[in-house]
Structure formats: C-alpha cells, structure tokens
Amino acid sequence: MGLPDPIDHLLALDAGSRGIGGFYRPGGARRAAQSLARGKRVLLTTGFAVGPGMAETDGPPGAAVLGRALRRLGKAVSYLTDESAAPLLAAALGVLGESAEMALFPRDGAAGGARVLGAHDRPSHLVAVERPGRTRDGDYRNARGESIAAWNQPIDALFLAPPRGVITVGIGDGGNEIGMGNVRRRLLRQGTLAKRITSMVRVDHLVVAGVSNWGAYGVAAHLSILAKRPLLHTAEEERRLVTACVEAGGVDGITRRRVPTVDGLPLEVHVAMVELLRTLVDQQIRGGVRS
C-alpha cells in the first residue's frame, strides 16, 4: 500500500468547518487529473450566485487556474457561465493573461445548452468548479437552504445527459454543487438542511475540497506532477485573482460581503494553500515521485 497522497491531506482541510469529512473522496483530484491529461478539448463551467447580484468568489479563480494549466498542456480550453458570474470569470482570466473563449449559457435552457456543446467542437471533458447542481425537487439552493434558481442558469443540464464519450468532472465543497450526487447518501446523513440543499447531479470524477478553488488547484497540482512541470499559479496571483473577483462584483459566499475573502476565510489562508501545493508539486517533480 502506498503512502497517503499529501495533496489529499491539504484538500481535505476543513478550515471553514463545512463537515466535508463525511463526504470527502480521497484520490478524487488525482483521478480527475489523470483523466484530463488524456483529454483534448475541455469545457469548464463555474459561477455560483448565492443571491441577486451576488456571485461568489469561490469558483472563477479555480476555473481560471485549472483552465490555464490545461491550455499549457496543449488542450483546447473554453469556458461557460451565465450573466451573474461572467464578470468574475472574465476578471480571473484577465489576471492570468488568458484570452480564452467564454460563452454565456442560453436563456432557453437545456436545448440551448446542446447548441453550446456543438459550438465547442464537442469537448472530451465537461468540468464544473463550484457550480449549482439541482436538488431532487429540481430547485437550486444555497447553503442557507434558499432557492437561487432565479440567478443561476441550469448549466447542470449538460451534466445530467452528456453526449456519449464526454467525461464529466465536478468540483465542490458544500453538497449543493454539480457532482455531489455521487455522495448524496452520505450528505443526507448530515441533517435536515443537507437533505434540502444536496444536489442529485452525478459526474464521472468528483473532487471534494474544503474550498472549491482548492479542489481545482489540487487537480492542477496533479497535472503538474504528471507532466513534470509546474502549472500552478503563484501566491501573488492568488491575491490578485480574489481581489479582481471582488472588484468585478463578487462576494464571499458565506458572509456575502464584498471583501477579498473566500468562504469566510481570510485571503492569507488561500495564499498559504497555494504555497503549500506549490511546495508539494516541486518536491514530487524534483524527487521523481509519480502522481
């Protein structure tokens, strides 16, 4: 038996006391990276509006970092979001100097979503980073149990019935995101609120982390190890990513304040996570340890 994955240890850090220990999936980031490394065209979606005009700072930074890592590996990368989150994603991509294609999900729902997939040359992978997933009753709810369907387009429809051969990846932290259908039974044990908000949308590869951005960074870290080259962003870029999202109108998903924090955690906590992941990647690349 091999040693525990050190990246897993970081992603499983529940600094915000979200209770992820009950539904964390060890090896999820590694398996997602292995699959993405074999892909050719990746469509990433992100954006979670917790209320009117309140797209959260968790998600767009992670999608931008993971997308840049994939592009540097020669993958064709494009992005899909909705009007609520578009300014944040554009800001995050701008910080990283990425001019990737970004589309808005059509207002006519799933039928329009099929056109989006067609326009993107049928991706090999669909990846959701902190994106709402519908509940059993078809609604979308934030962590407080409130309906947020009015401010989030049904992008999860693409994951419910992806074209044959398209591999799906979901990255989340609270149970109400695309992909959490994989661990729905575990989530339902966490009480009444969990039963109300838990998503039923399943994916091929689920990545759970204390913060969804961290989950995306963890996948990028494993891609770095597989490729034996650093693909993660820097600590300074992390500061700029979060700040740019706030300046674009983003809010902390927990506090709902327009300040440079993510999920109630100070910016320096996220900077420290990036530094730790970069250190692990550097050690494994130099040490020849395979992901």
240-261 average pLDDT score: 97
Residue-level pLDDT at 120: 58
Q: What is the pLDDT of residues 115-171, one digit of tens each?
A: 666 655 789 999 999 999 999 999 999 999 999 999 999 999 999 999 999 999 999
Looking at residue 72, its amino acid is R
236 domain residue, yes or no: yes
Question: Which pLDDT score is estimated for 55?
Answer: 98
Tokens at 38, concatenated: 């074999």
Tens of pLDDT along 52-84?
999 999 999 999 999 999 999 999 999 999 999
In-domain check, residue 87: yes
Query: What range does the domain containing 100 cover?
Result: 6-285
Residue 290 in any domain: the answer is no
The structure tokens 């993660």 sit at: 232
Please give the tally of structural domains in the chain: 1
Task: Give the bridge partners for 147, in sequence order.
Answer: 141
Mean pLDDT along residues 243-248? 98
Q: Rounded to an integer, what distance in angstroms lies between the CA atom of residue 291 and that of residue 284?
A: 8
Q: What would the DSSP string read from start to end of the chain?
A: -PPPPHHHHHHT--TT---GGGT--TTHHHHHHHHHHT-SEEEEEE--EEETTEEBSSSHHHHHHHHHHHHHTT-EEEEEE-TTTHHHHHHHHHHTT---EEEEPPTTTHHHHHHHHHHTT--SEEEEES-B---TTS--B-TTS-B-GGGS--TTHHHHSPPTT-EEEEEESSSSBTTGGGGHHHHHTT-HHHHHH------SEEEE-SSHHHHHHHHHHHHHHHHTS-----HHHHHHHHHHHHHTT-B-TTT--SSS-BTTB-HHHHHHHHHHHHHHHHHHHHHT---
- The reply to whether 44 falls in a domain is yes
Q: For 255-277, what is the mean pLDDT? A: 98
Amino acid found at 64: A
Angle of the 212-227 helix axis to the 28-37 helix axis, nearest 10: 50
> How many Å is the maximal CA-CA distance in the chain?
51
CB of 65 within 8 A of CB of 244? no
Q: What is the tens place of the pLDDT at every residue in 37-52?
A: 999 999 999 999 999 9
Q: Examine the pLDDT at 271 and tell me if it is beyond 70.
A: yes
Give a yes or no: residue 291 inside a domain: no
Segment 184-208 mean pLDDT: 93
Whole-number pLDDT of residue 117:
65
Q: Could you tell me if 105 and 112 are in contact, meaning their C-beta atoms sit under 8 angstroms apart?
A: yes
**Contact indicator for 273, 173 with CB cutoff of 8 Å:** no
pLDDT at 194: 87
How far from each other are the two terminal CA atoms of the chain, in whole angstroms? 14
Instruction: Examine residue 170 and state whether it is found in any structural domain, yes or no.
Output: yes
Asked if 183 and 23 touch (Cβ cutoff 8 Å), the reply is: yes
| Residue 188 banded pLDDT, cuts 50, 70, 90 | confident
- In CATH, what number is assigned to the domain containing residue 111? 3.90.1640.20
Give, to the nearest 10 degrees, the angle between helix 235-247 and helix 60-72.
130
- Residue 290 predicted with pLDDT over 50: no
Nearest to 101 by CA among 153, 47, 49, 42: 42
Work out whether strand 167-172 and strand 76-81 pair parallel, antiparallel, or are unpaired.
unpaired
In a domain, 55, yes or no: yes
User: Per the domain annotation, does 1 fall within a domain?
Assistant: no
User: Do the beta carbons of residue 48 and residue 85 sit within 8 Å?
Assistant: yes
pLDDT at residue 28 greater than cutoff 90: yes
